[in-house]
Structure 1
Amino acid sequence: MPARSAEMLSVALVVPLQGPTGLYGPSCLACAELAAEQLNERDGIAGRQVELVVVDAGREPRVVADEVGRLVDEGRVQAVAGWHISAVRQAITRRVGGRVVYAFAAMHEGGDATPGVYMIGERPINQLLPAAHWMREELAVGRWAIVGNDYVFPRVTGATARLALADTTSEVVSETYVPLGTSDFGAVIESLSRQPVDGVMMLLMGQDAVHFNRQFARAGLSALLPRLSPAVEENTLLAGGAGAHEGLYAAAAYFDALGTAESTELARAYYARWGRWAPTLNAVGESCYEALYFLARVGEVCGSVEVAAVAAMPSGHFYSSPRGLMRLDGNLLDQDVYVAAADGMEFRIEQQIARAH
């Protein structure tokens, strides 16, 4: 397959369209397409019109990485962006790392020193840990049980939480990890009911979180054990139903109910483009919008999105986005983060818990 014209910048948009995280897919696609349309009405990315080449991240990581690798090998794409789990990110990085710029939009467990890789989502130090401290102060949650999917992000995040809370008034009492795609949490929930814990850190993705929340509520634990998640968003609430979310809290840099000047501007454009029945606007979808605008920012500052050029992107660089003020810290981003309470099938913002600095 021939390479694209030099006038076109093709971006592999790697988002889940099937599997446990597939429920995020429609929001990811809608947000990314809106970003591409807006950028193409201006200067595109580094002066080139943007084309999105969608890659389904809901498959096995190796399969996803092989497809992205072929696109890069053939010159079909010149950048990679999108929301997907860290296991997919690691597979892609092994395959094409250092060859194209890569804007990884999801919340993540920490750094990746691969040249050209930018980790633009939230991380435990400004997301999960401040939220845990907030829940200690507001809800007296001190003893945590972690329930997560069994791959790199939940495992490393769980270990980070355990170590970070060890010298505080909070602690991690237990950790349980289940395969991605788990639908029966009966044994996990029965164990939780017997543990001396005050709350549950949910490191479950997509449909797994939906199943867990429903079964947790049916077991009568919602009023007893608050839950905290860095990954639950508006699609998860809609899929779970209004009765499954009592005592559920989320920490993220973006919510549909955020109501800031920056988030309101995106919401207005999003619903004007897609209508009132659009896929729900949420942190996961918005992160794909964020990733494309980040590539545009890099192109504006560096004059190109080639890996050699983006090395000149200065650490400490500030810019504004729908999430508010963003600050580049090496290849990571600091950003404002909020904790929100589930209220039926919507979120209610409780407090800002971290700031870009």
Structure 2
Amino acid sequence: MAETYAALRAARTLAIAFVVPLQGPTGIYGPSCLACGELAVEQLNAGRGIAGREVELVIVDGGRDPEVVADEVGALVDTGRVQAVAGWHISAVRQAITRRVGGRVVYAFAAMHEGGDETPGVFMLGERPINQLLPAAHWMRRELGVGRWAIVGNDYVFPRVTGTTARLALEGTDSQVVSETYVPLGTSDFSGVLARLNDQPVDGVIMLLMGQDAVHFNRQFARSGLAVQMPRLSPAVEENTLLAGGAGAHEGLYAAAAYFDSLRTSESSELAAAYYGRWGAWAPALNAVGESCYEALLFLARLGEVCGSVSMESVARLETGHFYSSPRGLMRLDGNLVDQDVYLAEADGLEFRITDQIARAR
């Protein structure tokens, strides 16, 4: 009888490996990821779930070594415990997971990314340099006169590929990348990096630092006095980073993202009302990272609605160019990538103030 019940429950439930960072430099994002993920599940299960199946999240700590994360996800897929993968985590973790289970289950990768992953079943839902970092750099050249950039990033695939993309894309324009520095994840002392910045002919800094590393850098950057002369631009800094850094660490800091808590579109306002209505005024920050996790789960629901299932066979029939609505506004599927509206915001103490829209879903 117990086996029959378990089989029936498995048939009625869609279990998703929800891979989000709970430790390490990116662990600062974890509470926002969990709160947004749970909200999405509650909303989905109040309706049809995903393709008529109740949604269950199986939490996987994506803040550990990529191979350790991939082994845990692989075991969950191997045993049939989960039927899909979703969440926000760094690209090094994504690459390890795709090597382990790529092509076997649908994988909704929510983070901003460097692009170029053609693994079957992988959908790259985040922003990418072509609609995030590069338009922001052009805006800052036009509006602030920032032409010579120094890149400071963590030493793994996303910052390095994004840095190379920026350097090549800006060649022949009024902007250029004059230096690139990459440090290990978990770096807390940036004194050497700041000394080199002070000696270089640089107008601004492109920050490709994650989580707590960005917090340390911003604090030390502000104390060095460089904030007065060098604006910073980041595709990864969000509201948790501002809170952790403190109000005095963010003069001249700009962020480019598809979602901010201060975004006041009708779609974003609907999510904010539901989020704070569920978790209250002291909830974890509603930010681009948490919203991305919410986005990934709603995307799987959209796949189930359009394809009838989230199995690899069903999803393979999904046509490119598909439009759908989300808290970010109108989204368009371009192969396994997503085009979306992207905004530039300036840090104002512990909040972001939207400055301009720099990209639109095409």
Please confirm whether the aligned pair reaches a TM-score higher than 0.5, indicating the same fold: yes
Q: Could you tell me which of 132, 144, 151 is aligned with 1:146?
A: 151
User: Partner residue of 1:22?
Assistant: 27
Taking the TM superposition and a 5 Å limit, the aligned residue runs for 1:146-165 are 146-165=151-170
User: Partner residue of 1:272?
Assistant: 277
User: Partner residue of 1:48?
Assistant: 53
User: Partner residue of 1:220?
Assistant: 225
Contact 1:246 1:342 in 2 (8 A): yes
User: Partner residue of 1:286?
Assistant: 291
State the shift of 1:59 in Å.
0.3
User: Partner residue of 2:323?
Assistant: 318
- Partners of 1:308 and 1:130 lie apart in 2 by 37
Q: Could you tell me which of 135, 146, 149 is aligned with 1:130?
A: 135
Unaligned runs of 5+ in 2: none
User: Partner residue of 1:192?
Assistant: 197
Mapped pair 1:233 → 2:242: no
Q: Which shows bigger deviation, 306-315 or 68-77?
A: 306-315
Contact 1:111 1:119 in 2 (8 A): no
- Partners of 1:120 and 1:167 lie apart in 2 by 30
When the two chains are superposed, the root-mean-square deviation of aligned CA atoms in Å is 0.9
- Partners of 1:8 and 1:91 lie apart in 2 by 26
Mapped pair 1:298 → 2:303: yes
User: Partner residue of 1:202?
Assistant: 207
- Partners of 2:312 and 2:167 lie apart in 1 by 36
User: Partner residue of 2:86?
Assistant: 81
Mapped pair 1:7 → 2:38: no
State the shift of 1:101 in Å.
0.1
DSSP 3-state at the match of 2:313: helix
Residue identity in the other structure for 2:184: P
Residue identity in the other structure for 1:270: Y
Unaligned runs of 5+ in 1: none
User: Partner residue of 1:33?
Assistant: 38
How many residue pairs get aligned? The number is: 357
- Partners of 2:275 and 2:172 lie apart in 1 by 44
Residue identity in the other structure for 1:29: L
DSSP 3-state at the match of 1:92: helix
DSSP 3-state at the match of 1:21: helix
DSSP 3-state at the match of 1:9: strand
- Partners of 1:111 and 1:300 lie apart in 2 by 26
Q: Could you tell me which of 244, 255, 263 is aligned with 1:250?
A: 255
Q: Could you tell me which of 162, 171, 178 is aligned with 1:166?
A: 171
User: Partner residue of 1:93?
Assistant: 98
Percent identical residues? 81
Contact 1:227 1:248 in 2 (8 A): yes
Q: Structure 2 length as normaliser, TM-score?
A: 0.98
State the shift of 1:309 in Å.
1.0
Residue identity in the other structure for 1:278: A
- Partners of 2:184 and 2:115 lie apart in 1 by 21
Q: Could you tell me which of 155, 174, 178 is aligned with 2:183?
A: 178
Residue identity in the other structure for 2:120: P
User: Partner residue of 2:354?
Assistant: 349
Mapped pair 1:68 → 2:73: yes
- Partners of 2:349 and 2:313 lie apart in 1 by 48
Residue identity in the other structure for 2:155: D
The ranges of structure 1 where at least 4 consecutive aligned residues each deviate by more than 6 angstroms after the TM superposition are none
